[in-house]
Amino acid sequence: MAISTIRRQENISAILSREGEQGRESGRDGRANGASEGTAVERPDEREPSRFPLITNVRLPLIIDAVDLGFTAEEQAFRLEVRDWLDRNLPSEWRHRGVGGFREEEETDLQRQWQRRLHEAGWLKLAWPKQAGGREATPVMQAIYQEETEKAGAPIILGRLGVSLLAPTLLVHGSQWQKDTYVEKILSGDLNFCQGFSEPDAGSDLAGLRARAERRDGHWVLNGQKTWSSGAHYADKSFLLARSDAEAEPHKGISFFLVDMHQPGVEVRRIRQMTGGGEFCEIFLSNAVVEDRDVVGEPGAGWKIAMTVFGFERGGLAQAARFERVVAELAVLARDRGAGADVTVRQKVAQAQIEAHVFRLNGLRNLTKAQHGDAPGPEASLTKLYWSEMDKRIQEMAVGVQGPYGALAPGSPFAVEDGRWQYGWMWAQAETIYAGSSEIQRNIIAERVLGLPRGR
């Protein structure tokens, strides 16, 4: 991987081309729209010719200074290996498009099967140490893998919270018994975990959580309420924070429990969302029992372990690939809805393309840091803030270009593209809340990246 400063002429006309044909040609080569190697986006206009081509082929010379990752021959070979495996193992009917293609409730079986397939092929241990059966993939290789799966439209996996958050946390903080008992089952999908951190009055201010854990008859007994727990309705267990020492300072009296969700002391209620789905749940704990062996780390060390969990909640190049695809689809939508000649729409599409590209460059910068062994710092908040706010703008525009049709719900017989953009718009509203709301990210950026004085 080489890092160099480049001066490059950007051509954003690939997405705003006059002729559908011309757009198809530029879309075939990712480099044609200024993307670096390996970022070739399969443009939707490769699949279907446009009925409403945008008017002019505007070539905007845009000179930029950027970090450029030139991939090594080994990394290129790895990319081809991933692509080849996906070609052979990801059936076309499992692939989704960039927006609204994934509807969690309708596809749990598919997500379960996909997870098993990835696990059997060893992909879920890509970054793991060799002695733990992994491949010790570098951050660049991990990013390549994620990007390729995203570009292929791979479904998400059912046990993603366990796989991406809990399993690596157990490798760091878990007892040998916990590693032996849980890790393989988490990866294979035999055991699904949900995350029980947030409470009705403790979200951003997680240290204010009130669920309590008491010692009784040689067990831990838990009482309280959790909320917004993704996938709790199909989870076998939860990794959950509860206050085990009421006298200690807020951050210090918290423990990290692995709670059996199938016991009588646990009730799960699904929360109805505006999408019509109910992927998030409330969890009510009424004398739920946890054995000592299911406490991760020492009692009272839960906050530190939760911070490890948050460290694994990262976005990156995979998201960049997703947004590039979404913007390309947005351009086709605008053209197909007859809005391609509208100057405002054209400017917004171009702006969205630029934002997606800036996001990729920032991802490459973060990747460069990771490749040099630097842990992600508070600047990870920039990534979260950027993509979630950008996605909201893109989705809003997509609904807007549909005119009155934008108001139709997914499933309506007259909805454009089965209402997948409306579905995407509804989902995007959650993105600036989960994994740290935009306001919280701005506070972190202000105080810890820019060094501004604390406002409170």
Ligand X SMILES: Cc1cc2nc3c(=O)[nH]c(=O)nc-3n(C[C@H](O)[C@H](O)[C@H](O)COP(=O)(O)OP(=O)(O)OC[C@H]3O[C@@H](n4cnc5c(N)ncnc54)[C@H](O)[C@@H]3O)c2cc1C
Task: Enumerate binding residues for ligand X (CB under 6 A).
Answer: 194-198, 203-204, 228-230, 280, 430, 433-434, 437, 439-440, 443
Written as one string, the DSSP assignment of 205-216 is: SGGG---EEEEE
How far is 216 from 269, CA to CA, in rounded Å?
27
Nearer to ligand X, 271 or 301 (CB): 271
Residue 135: which region, alpha, beta or left (left: phi > 0; alpha: psi -120 to 50)?
alpha
Give the 3-state secondary structure of residue 344.
Answer: helix
Nearer to ligand X, 229 or 244 (CB): 229
CA atoms 223, 228, 229, 232: torsion sign: positive
Nearer to ligand X, 72 or 204 (CB): 204
Residue 214 β-bridge partners: 221
Q: Which two tokens mark 272?
A: 């109805």
Closest distance of CB 310 from ligand X, Å? 10
How far is 146 from 160, CA to CA, in rounded Å?
13
Q: Which residue has the tokens 């953009």?
A: 421
How far is 69 from 51, CA to CA, in rounded Å?
37
Backbone phi, then psi, for 254, in 5-degree steps? -105, 140
Closest distance of CB 109 from ligand X, Å? 21
Report yes or no: 224 and 199 within 8 Å, Cβ to Cβ: yes
Amino acid type, 165: L
Q: Which two tokens mark 282?
A: 């409330």
Written as one string, the DSSP assignment of 39-90 is: -----GGGTS--SS--S-------EEEEEEEEPPHHHHHHHHHHHHHHHHHS
How far is 116 from 238, CA to CA, in rounded Å?
20
Closest distance of CB 432 from ligand X, Å? 8
Nearer to ligand X, 361 or 440 (CB): 440
Give the 3-state secondary structure of residue 248.
Answer: coil
Nearer to ligand X, 139 or 410 (CB): 410
Nearer to ligand X, 50 or 388 (CB): 388
Backbone phi, then psi, for 281, in 5-degree steps? -135, 160
Burial of residue 194, with CB atoms counted within 10 A of its CB: 0-12 exposed, 13-18 middle, 19 or more buried = buried
Closest distance of CB 450 from ligand X, Å? 16
Nearer to ligand X, 180 or 439 (CB): 439
Report yes or no: 257 and 243 within 8 Å, Cβ to Cβ: no
Closest distance of CB 95 from ligand X, Å? 24
Closest distance of CB 242 from ligand X, Å? 12
Report yes or no: 255 and 197 within 8 Å, Cβ to Cβ: no
Nearer to ligand X, 209 or 367 (CB): 209
Q: Which residue has the tokens 């309705």?
A: 233
Closest distance of CB 437 from ligand X, Å? 3
Q: Which two tokens mark 92?
A: 């076309």
How far is 358 from 374, CA to CA, in rounded Å?
21
Closest distance of CB 155 from ligand X, Å? 18
Q: Which residue's C-beta sits nearest to ligand X?
A: 203
Burial of residue 82, with CB atoms counted within 10 A of its CB: 0-12 exposed, 13-18 middle, 19 or more buried = buried
Active site residues: 313
Q: Which two tokens mark 163?
A: 């796989």
Nearer to ligand X, 280 or 359 (CB): 280
Closest distance of CB 105 from ligand X, Å? 14
